[in-house]
Structure 1
Amino acid sequence: MSHPHPELSAPGELAEGGLRVTPLGGLGEVGRNMTVFEYAGRLLVVDCGVLFPEDQQPGVDLILPDFGPIRDRLDAIEALVLTHGHEDHIGAAPYLLRERRDIPLVGSKLTLALMGSKLREHRLRETVQHVVKEGDRIAFGPFDLEFVAVNHSIPDALAVAIRTPAGMVLHTGDFKMDQLPLDGRITDLRSFARLGEEGVDLFLTDSTNAEVPGFTTAEKKITPAIEQVFRESEQRIIVACFASHVHRVQQILDSAVKHGRKVGYVGRSMVRNMQIASELGYLHVPEGVIVDAKELADLPPEKQVLVSTGSQGEPMSALSRIANGTHNFVQIAPGDTVLLASSLIPGNENAVYRVINGLARLGAHVVHKGNALVHVSGHASAGELLYCYNIVRPRNVMPVHGEIRHLLANGDLARAVGIDNVVIAEDGVVVDLVDGVAKVAGKVECGYVFVDGTSVGDITESELKDRRILGDEGFVSIIVVVDSVSGKVSSGPEIHARGNAWAEDAFDEIKQPIVDAVNRAVSEGATDTYQLQQAARRTFGRWVSDTHRRRPMIIPVVIEA
């Protein structure tokens, strides 16, 4: 993706009395949200999330924001504010807390409860936490924070107004304006208007649906489609949704009770999150409806509902294992109905359709967003964003949370209502708010930080490229023995290949050219084994490209004997 400010250099000193805003993730991508605010040498961090890997990032478990620009200033962080409990906003927080354990965590009751289970997984038990709710106001250093209720696809989401001597920032977090939410908690537009009257100097707005016209469909609109599934299904129903989508699970529980079915959760994160949501009162579970998923199998199929993780086709998720027949206790029977109650995140299409095809092959009827209204977005569409701009009337706008096309579309909406100063930034672009005007001040280096097992940040783009080559093109090793006195080839080459269907004699014609190339390199003055290895690599590389249209990873080994 091209950077909108490719020529920018490192930012200079922040002007006295100015506020600096540095996004370290979430701008130019959907995920990895993290924004750093700086005033008078003190820092406030809003969100710290992960991005999930795509197919071209093999072996990567998670992608974190780059903490490099603030790593030597961790002691200056006043607090980490978490707007809501989705992974792309809280998932990287444990990795930041590993570097400084006592950073105060600020968030709503549900958000910090979901965060707590992650902290226990990372063995971070003694953290400083401040539970807040809409209407609360709390100060950390020079940052005076006020929290505002917003509606999203997870309960208890908050926008945050950040008052500083440099001006007020209003950060929406992820939000939409569902006027008939299942939990009755609407986005508090009255507070948005009140803050607008006070004067919002910089408005950071969710851009994910900025290209979508009109208003996002209300959650209640999908109830008829869910009801239809329950009414028409004669056997077991399996529902896959995000493990954090409490509202969707509530709709499933309500329909299950209405149709006399029992519900079991499948997937560790689903079990954990729904238990937390139930204990805190965000999920209302009718008595007797929940049973252990393994015990559910003892009931007749028409009495069973399984709620599972894996709506994005994640390879190790419960639904993927069900689809490929490897789940330890759930097997699809012909006539089962599978309901994919989630959106299709860009980049996951192939994985999701692979799961749908696997389920269909086993005889399931699959209901998904492509053939029924079974999911609505959690983000404000263009009409809602225009509405917000008109009631807040900010002096400056900085679109956040989205790919570059989303950010640009959101910026166009702000300009359409007469807001002239719109700042389009991507990860690492530094924006300074000085004397009420927001301007780009430079950029800091911030790349992707890959998590691979227990390894954090050790994988480079170069190593990922090697992995992609290995996965796509295979691996070839060439072993040549040279005489330690003459330097000429004394035996070999032995050529071994993996990852492609090579015939037994496939490499016979290239062996002598490799010998000739190594001997020629010696006669031309090559003295070390690295030069000889490169001669073998070049010769084999040209041949395999011309002959087989392949570009495998080539590992030449030259042994002196």
Structure 2
Amino acid sequence: KLKEHKLLRESELVEINSNSNLKIGEMSVSFFKVTHSIPDCLGMVFHTPEGNIVHTGDFKFDLTPANNEHSDIHKMADIGKEGVLLLLSESTNAERPGLTPSEQMVGEHVETTFRKAERKVILSTFASNISRVQQVVDAAQKTNRKLALLGRSMVKVVAVAMERGYLTVPDGMLIDPHEINEMAPEKVAILCTGSQGEPLAALARLSTGNFRGVDILPEDTVIFAAGPIPGNERNVTSIVDNLFALGAKVIYGSGSTSGMHVSGHGYQEDLKLMLTLMKPKYFIPIHGEFRMLHHHRLLAESVGVEQGNTFIINNGDVVDIEHTIARQTRKIPVGNTYVDGGDVGNVGEFVLRDRKQLSEDGILMIVLTMSKAEGKLISEPDTISRGFVDSDFSELRRDVNRLTTKTVNELQEANRNQWNVMKKQIKKSIRQYVYTHTKKKPMIVPILIEI
């Protein structure tokens, strides 16, 4: 990502592993292995003069991980024995009872589906989930299928994973997309991006027939091997509908519904195990909606964390620790940083409001040509529209010009022909008229030309 955004040269990269120990001022940082859906995941321990602060990162406890990367439970227990002043632990699945299912379950379902499929199989998942990609490769090998990769990130991640030894792909298995149609469909599998309904990803383009050289045909099997992230459901549903319309067999849904996806985030029993191993004095649930944080706090209290020693905090909230006592104190300003060309962080609220209005209802510019000496209109106002759509704009334009002329004349009769007063009154009159007749609120911009 740094290379993609041309930031690699100005960045200092420090390679770490579970045995690393970094010194930062009066604080040091050590690490411990956790299991997640991507390789080499680590939790962190910040050794401070006040005590140890642990950040779990994303994790689950999987006793049979597909990538054989086990959580280092013994090291976690040792950290807990040493003493943990504060634990920050992820809360994504704090509402789900039980233990998170093992990733190996997905591999078994994928292989079974590959065997049963009578035509080509298209499977979409996160490119970063290397253990799942490996299981797809294994299923293709066991069912004598060639594998094609679609989607830029999938191609890049697979290449890097193979180069670094995280992914093993038999020689001759990978084929180029243009070779798909040259082979018997029952001998082909496709691994692609787009499991979250991204409009420009490979699966979305396949579902609309817009991926050059590759088509989804009736009786092809399409597998969503990833659950939709909250907020992506509508996009995913749209693609599923398109695939059914093409005649494909579609396997979608998470967990026990399809067996094609298990979470990389711990369920309630995983979270309770982490709390039990760490035995923190204070606890802050992180990484989740408020309800998830709330459920995680209740879990912490159920395994022994004192009720007054848990904090649910928002972005910007500060928890101070002094003499091993934690207190929520102040708040620092946080939020989005807006970038406008080369200007970073200086885009004001009014600019954003105007741009929002322009994007929704467009703009009406009313040009008035007036005599500088007499302060009277020389010609009829001219109304110009951009981004404002009305079924009969020519009639609306005549009415706006007529109303503008009337407003200017009335102000002149009342000796109130100052430009700033005239501008405000024109905007007010035209805004009311346009909304009454169109129910739209375009930006109104009077422009004065004095001759």
After TM superposition, the score normalised by the length of structure 1 is 0.73
SS at match of 2:381: strand
**Aligned residue runs from structure 1 range 101-180, under 5 A:** 118-119=2-3, 121-125=5-9, 127-180=11-64
Distance 1:459 1:380, change over 3 A: farther
Q: Say which one has the larger Rg.
A: 2
CA distance in 1, matches of 2:116, 2:358: 47
2:440 alignment counterpart = 550
- Would you say 1:423 and 2:423 are equivalent positions? no
Aligned residue type for 2:372: S
1:491 aligns with one of 380, 396, 404: 380
- Would you say 1:382 and 2:268 are equivalent positions? yes
Distance 1:471 1:352, change over 3 A: farther
Task: Tell me the alpha carbon deviations over residues 418-441 of structure 1, each in whole angstroms, 9 at most, x when there is no partner.
Answer: 312012211111111111122112
Aligned residue type for 1:406: M
2:402 aligns with one of 486, 499, 512: 512
Bigger Cα displacement from structure 2, 131-140 vs 118-127: 118-127
**Aligned residue runs from structure 1 range 522-533, under 5 A:** 522=412, 523=414, 525-528=416-419, 531-533=421-423
Distance 1:300 1:506, change over 3 A: farther
Once the two structures are TM-superposed, the CA of residue 184 in structure 1 deviates from its matched residue by 1.8
CA distance in 2, matches of 1:210, 1:511: 61
Distance 1:283 1:512, change over 3 A: same
Aligned residue type for 1:143: M
**Aligned residue runs from structure 1 range 75-474, under 5 A:** 118-119=2-3, 121-125=5-9, 127-369=11-253, 372-420=258-306, 421-450=309-338, 457=345, 462-474=350-362
The answer (yes or no) to whether the contact 2:375–2:417 under 8 Å persists in 1 is: no
CA distance in 2, matches of 1:373, 1:557: 64
SS at match of 2:165: coil
The answer (yes or no) to whether the contact 2:195–2:225 under 8 Å persists in 1 is: yes
The answer (yes or no) to whether the contact 2:361–2:387 under 8 Å persists in 1 is: no
CA distance in 2, matches of 1:361, 1:461: 45
Once the two structures are TM-superposed, the CA of residue 200 in structure 1 deviates from its matched residue by 0.3
SS at match of 1:190: helix
The answer (yes or no) to whether the contact 1:236–1:303 under 8 Å persists in 2 is: yes
Task: Tell me the alpha carbon deviations over residues 462-487 of structure 1, each in whole angstroms, 9 at most, x when there is no partner.
Answer: 55544544444344443333333333
Aligned residue type for 1:473: D
Once the two structures are TM-superposed, the CA of residue 158 in structure 1 deviates from its matched residue by 0.3
1:17 alignment counterpart = none
- Would you say 1:480 and 2:368 are equivalent positions? yes
CA distance in 1, matches of 2:56, 2:157: 24
Distance 1:338 1:446, change over 3 A: same
The answer (yes or no) to whether the contact 1:482–1:491 under 8 Å persists in 2 is: no
Aligned residue type for 1:534: K
CA distance in 1, matches of 2:42, 2:89: 13
CA distance in 1, matches of 2:266, 2:223: 24
Q: CA RMSD in A?
A: 2.6
The answer (yes or no) to whether the contact 1:264–1:293 under 8 Å persists in 2 is: yes
After TM superposition, the score normalised by the length of structure 2 is 0.90
Gaps of 5+ in 1: 1-116
Gaps of 5+ in 2: none
Once the two structures are TM-superposed, the CA of residue 358 in structure 1 deviates from its matched residue by 2.8
Aligned residue type for 1:284: T
Task: Tell me the alpha carbon deviations over residues 266-323 of structure 1, each in whole angstroms, 9 at most, x when there is no partner.
Answer: 1221111111111112112122211223333322222222211222222222222223
CA distance in 1, matches of 2:143, 2:297: 47
* Count, aligned residues: 444
Bigger Cα displacement from structure 2, 167-176 vs 222-231: 222-231
Distance 1:302 1:553, change over 3 A: farther
**Aligned residue runs from structure 1 range 10-29, under 5 A:** none
